[in-house]
Amino acid sequence: MNKDKNNRNRRRSENVIENILMLCAAIFILVIILITIFIFAKGMPLLLKIGIVDFLFNSNWMPGKGNYGIWTMFVGSLAVTFMAMVWAVPLGIITAIFMAEIAPPRVAKILGSMVELLAGIPSVVYGFVGLIVIVPFIREVLGGNGLSVLAGAIILGIMILPTIISISRDALLAVPPEYKEGSLALGATRYQTIARVIVPAARSGIVTAVVLGMGRAIGETMAVIMVTGNATVIPGSILSPVRTMTSNIVLEMGYATGDHQAALFATGMILFVFIVCLNLLVSISVKAGRAHGGK
pLDDT of residue 3: 64
CA 84, CA 62: separation in Å to the nearest integer? 29
Buried b (16+ CB within 10 A) or exposed e, 88-120: bbeebbebbbbbbbebeeeebeebeeebeebee
User: How confident is residue 276, by pLDDT bands cut at 50, 70 and 90?
Assistant: confident
User: How confident is residue 283, by pLDDT bands cut at 50, 70 and 90?
Assistant: confident
Q: pLDDT by residue (tens digit) across 212-227?
A: 888 888 888 888 999 9
Nearest Cα neighbor of 71 from 248, 193, 206, 216 is 248
Contact predicate 71/55, CB 8 Å: no
Q: What's the pTM value of the predicted model, to 2 decimals?
A: 0.85
Nearest Cα neighbor of 262 from 34, 70, 47 is 47
Q: pLDDT by residue (tens digit) across 240-272?
A: 999 999 999 998 888 888 889 999 999 999 998
As its CATH architecture, domain 61-294 has: Orthogonal Bundle (1.10)
Nearest Cα neighbor of 77 from 209, 226, 246, 213 is 246
pLDDT of residue 211: 87
Amino acid at 54: D
CA 161, CA 147: separation in Å to the nearest integer? 22
Say whether 156 sits in a helix, a strand or coil.
helix
The structural domains of the chain, with segments of one domain joined by +, span 2-50, 61-294
Contact predicate 9/222, CB 8 Å: no
User: How confident is residue 59, by pLDDT bands cut at 50, 70 and 90?
Assistant: confident
Q: pLDDT by residue (tens digit) across 155-212?
A: 999 999 999 999 999 999 999 888 888 888 888 888 899 999 999 988 888 988 988 8
What is the rounded average pLDDT of the residues 55-67? Answer: 87
Q: pLDDT by residue (tens digit) across 127-140?
A: 999 999 999 999 99
pLDDT of residue 290: 62
Helical packing angle, 203-219 and 149-173, nearest 10°: 150
CA 14, CA 164: separation in Å to the nearest integer? 35
pLDDT of residue 4: 67
What is the rounded average pLDDT of the residues 101-130? Answer: 90
